[in-house]
């Protein structure tokens, strides 16, 4: 599992925003991954995607790395932010906007506002 841990650490260090997910940002393979990737794509966030279905060691490794049992998992500037429920909550409350702004992550504020309006 050390190999996966090393790969994960390198990946989250090399990219400002990383989503460990089932599938890819262009073709998510589960509803939860699709929801988080959809939010990030809609908000225009530049993020790296890691398809855990392509690598069983990575699939278990990311759960051990974060001590979080589910996928997807979002990392910003090397920090674990959360899974689908947490990202959804943060998006709807505006907390994700603040978090991105504080961490220098570029996103479309207007798109974020539209998500909140549509879910009000």
Residue list, annotated binding site for [2Fe-2S] cluster: 30
From edge to edge, which strands make up the β-sheet containing 48-51? Answer: 48-51, 17-21, 73-76, 79-82
Which one, of 81, 113, 85, 91, lies nearest residue 39 by Cα? 91
Query: Residue positions in the annotated binding site?
Result: 30
First vs last Cα of the chain: how many Å apart?
43
Residue 28 β-bridge partners = 23
């Amino acid at each position: 599992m050390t190999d996966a841990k090393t790969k994960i650490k390198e990946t989250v260090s090399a990219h400002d925003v990383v989503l460990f997910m089932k599938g890819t940002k262009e073709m998510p393979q589960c509803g939860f991954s699709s929801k988080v990737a959809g939010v990030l794509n809609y908000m225009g966030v530049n993020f790296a995607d890691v398809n855990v279905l392509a690598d069983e060691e990575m699939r278990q490794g990311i759960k051990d790395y974060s001590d979080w049992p589910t996928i997807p998992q979002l990392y910003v500037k090397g920090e674990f932010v959360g899974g689908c429920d947490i990202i959804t909550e943060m998006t709807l409350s505006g907390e994700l906007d603040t978090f991105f702004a504080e961490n220098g992550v570029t996103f479309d504020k207007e798109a974020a506002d539209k998500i909140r309006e549509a879910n009000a």
